[in-house]
Amino acid sequence: MALFGRSYKSILKYLVIGELKVKYKNRLLGMAWAVIDPLMLMLIYLVLVKFIFQRGGPNYAIELLVGLITYRWFSTSIMAASRSLLSNGKLLQTVKFPYSVLPISRVLINAVDLLVGFVILFVFVYFYEVSPTIYWLWIPVLLVLQFQFIIALCLIFSIVGIYFRDLLNILTFGVRILLYASPILYGIEQIPAEFQSTYLTLSPLSSLMVSFKNVLIFNTGPSPYLLIFVGLSMVFWVLALYLFNSRKNISKDL
């Protein structure tokens, strides 16, 4: 897998630009959907939790938003990547090219929504009068950590999806469960203290979500459990590289 070859980069570039054009050109509201989507999601949960259940702290809207946009990057990329090889079977059987560009391009395409989400987030941060702190410098670091985590999973699922077609059905539930199993709609402080360490260990996205909220709103560093997240991504990377190197004849199985 020549990851950083010249032609690799240009294939990736054209795939991403092409997909983005398709994604936004054919809709009346175009790019506006990248703004509307996370806002609507946030409003739904905001009304539900804040006004119906009477829960959530003073900065709940921001907590929700940062969790939802980063989670959405994860879920949409995973879902798109897991069918990326399967749905391009014809192309893979026609042209020889480094096929890992397909799942990776899905992650980059969805990163545009993430960036738009962050713009909205900072508008909210401004209006909620949360002042910037030195801890904000952690945000790009956390995003990079999340990025490589998503890529590793996307590589794995894109291959597994070829051999195990039930994967998509399973993932549909999987990402949904992960939404509720991560501290996105609620804060980590709502988990009983004695279970917190178990929860942070077992729920893969939890340490990342806690860290985003910590550095953005609560003026503290990232959660120490982030190390587990890093370790987990290393395991996924080993698996991903193994799959991509052992499956050279993928086009035969499509």
> Which residues of the shown chain bind other proteins in the complex (CB under 8 A)?
6-7, 10-11, 14-15, 18-19, 21-22, 25-26, 88, 90-97, 163-164, 248-249, 251-253
Q: Please say which residue, 88 or 196, places its beta carbon nearer to other proteins.
A: 88
- The rounded distance, in Å, linking the Cα atoms of 203 and 124 is 28
Q: Which token pair is 47?
A: 């009304």
Min dist CB 23 to other proteins, Å, is 9
Min dist CB 199 to other proteins, Å, is 32
- The gap from C-alpha 94 to its chain's centroid, in whole angstroms, comes to 31
Q: Please say which residue, 21 or 176, places its beta carbon nearer to other proteins.
A: 21
Characterise 56 by phi-psi region: left (phi > 0), alpha (psi -120 to 50), beta (else).
left
Name the phi and psi angles at 229, rounded to 5.
Answer: -60, -45
Under 8 Å between Cβ of 1 and 245: yes
Q: Please say which residue, 98 or 232, places its beta carbon nearer to other proteins.
A: 98
- The rounded distance, in Å, linking the Cα atoms of 64 and 56 is 10
Q: Please say which residue, 23 or 55, places its beta carbon nearer to other proteins.
A: 23
Min dist CB 13 to other proteins, Å, is 8
Q: Please say which residue, 92 or 125, places its beta carbon nearer to other proteins.
A: 92
Min dist CB 178 to other proteins, Å, is 25
- The rounded distance, in Å, linking the Cα atoms of 208 and 178 is 13
Min dist CB 18 to other proteins, Å, is 5
